[in-house]
């Protein structure tokens, strides 16, 4: 098993990558890794994530309370957001938050990344919804993100940035890179007269490939209520286009209420 110091070094490497790729400015962004159910490593607040050494990295418990931090370092101000992801997604081992230029521009414009424009984005991300705006460091952001956690592995944070999570630190970082690449392509193709979207059939075939590969994580190919019912899903169902995600539970509640009303009316 990889030791804690090595994981701290890996967090610093990923910090350099997000900084050097312009996914964060100054002291922005934060990264965490789950060691076990009660111990998590996270970046400290208020430092440039591009210039960290392992001594910077803090250790917290599942409530975000400090277990170990070197003098002068305190856990990220967004630790509650990270902890909510771990709490509600036991499969997640790492969370990366950044402010990549294009993805954040979409988050500011209030436009979710839902247009199916290239196979890789459809297969790896599906759609990227927007979690409604919350004040940084409060429970508002975790609450907003929570609504999407069971359906997506990346979300835009309204007027703020992006959040990606996966079963390893590298995978969470790669997901963030994919979100930004997708956002950039979407932006550029909109400048060129608008993207030529993949058809519903092409999207369905890509979803099928994802299912066949047995790819882990949450994705519209597996959890979209329409896909569950054997209908064209997510990219074409329109639910991702709204700020609320494709929510199977909500759909089930609506179906249950409709059934009850119809029964009452004797229909
Ligand atoms: P921290 O330095 O406290 O992690 O905050 C950076 C940030 O990007 C807040 O959204």
Orientation of helix 169-191 relative to helix 101-109, angle to 10°: 70
Q: Return the best residue to mutate from 14, 23, 25, 29 for the ligand 1 pocket (most ligand atoms within 8 A of CB).
A: 29
Residue to mutate, 76, 108, 131, 145, ligand 1, most ligand atoms under 8 Å from C-beta: 76
Which residues are the active-site residues? Answer: 78
pLDDT value for 36: 98
Q: What is the pLDDT along the chain (267 residues), one digit of tens a residue?
A: 579 999 999 999 999 999 999 999 999 999 999 999 999 999 999 999 999 999 999 999 999 999 999 999 999 999 999 999 999 999 999 999 999 999 999 999 999 999 999 999 999 999 999 999 999 999 999 999 999 999 999 999 999 999 999 999 999 999 999 999 999 999 999 999 999 999 989 999 999 999 999 999 998 887 765 555 655 445 655 555 443 444 444 444 444 455 555 556 665
Ligand 1 near 78 CB (within 6 A): yes
Helices (H), 29-111: 79-88, 101-109
Q: Is the pTM of the predicted complex or chain greater than 0.75? A: yes
76 Ramachandran zone, left/alpha/beta (phi>0; psi -120 to 50): beta
Atom of ligand 1 nearest to the CA of 46: 2
Atom of ligand 1 nearest to the CA of 79: 4
Q: Which residue has the tokens 């070197």?
A: 70
Q: To 5 degrees, how large is the angle CA 27–CA 29–CA 32? A: 125
Residue 253, pLDDT score = 47
Q: Whose CA is nearest to atom 1 of ligand 1?
A: 45
> What is the rounded CA–CA span in Å between residue 176 and residue 178?
5
Cα(46) to centroid of ligand 1, in Å?
7
């Amino acid at each position: 098993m990889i030791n804690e110091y090595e994981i701290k070094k890996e967090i610093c490497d990923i910090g350099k990558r997000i900084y050097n790729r312009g996914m964060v400015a100054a002291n922005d962004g934060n990264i965490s890794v789950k060691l076990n159910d009660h111990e998590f490593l996270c970046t400290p607040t208020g430092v440039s994530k591009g210039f960290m050494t392992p001594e910077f990295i803090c250790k917290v418990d599942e409530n975000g309370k400090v277990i170990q931090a070197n003098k002068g370092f305190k856990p990220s101000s967004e630790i509650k957001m990270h902890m909510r992801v771990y709490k509600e997604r036991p499969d997640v081992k790492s969370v990366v938050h950044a402010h990549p230029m294009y993805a954040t521009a979409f988050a500011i414009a209030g436009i979710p990344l839902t247009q199916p424009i290239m196979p890789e984005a459809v297969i790896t991300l599906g759609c990227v919804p927007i979690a409604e705006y919350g004040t940084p460091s409060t429970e508002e952001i975790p609450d907003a993100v929570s609504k999407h956690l069971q359906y997506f592995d990346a979300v835009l944070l309204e007027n703020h940035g992006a959040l990606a999570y996966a079963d390893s630190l590298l995978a969470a970082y790669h997901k963030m890179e994919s979100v930004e690449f997708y956002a950039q392509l979407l932006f550029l193709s909109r400048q060129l007269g608008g993207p030529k979207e993949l058809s519903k059939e092409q999207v369905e075939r890509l979803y099928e490939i994802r299912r066949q590969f047995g790819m882990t994580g949450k994705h519209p190919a597996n959890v979209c209520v329409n896909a569950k019912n054997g209908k064209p899903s997510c990219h074409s169902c329109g639910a991702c286009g709204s700020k609320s995600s494709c929510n199977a539970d909500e759909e089930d509640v609506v179906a249950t209420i409709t059934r009850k009303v119809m029964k009452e009316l004797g229909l």
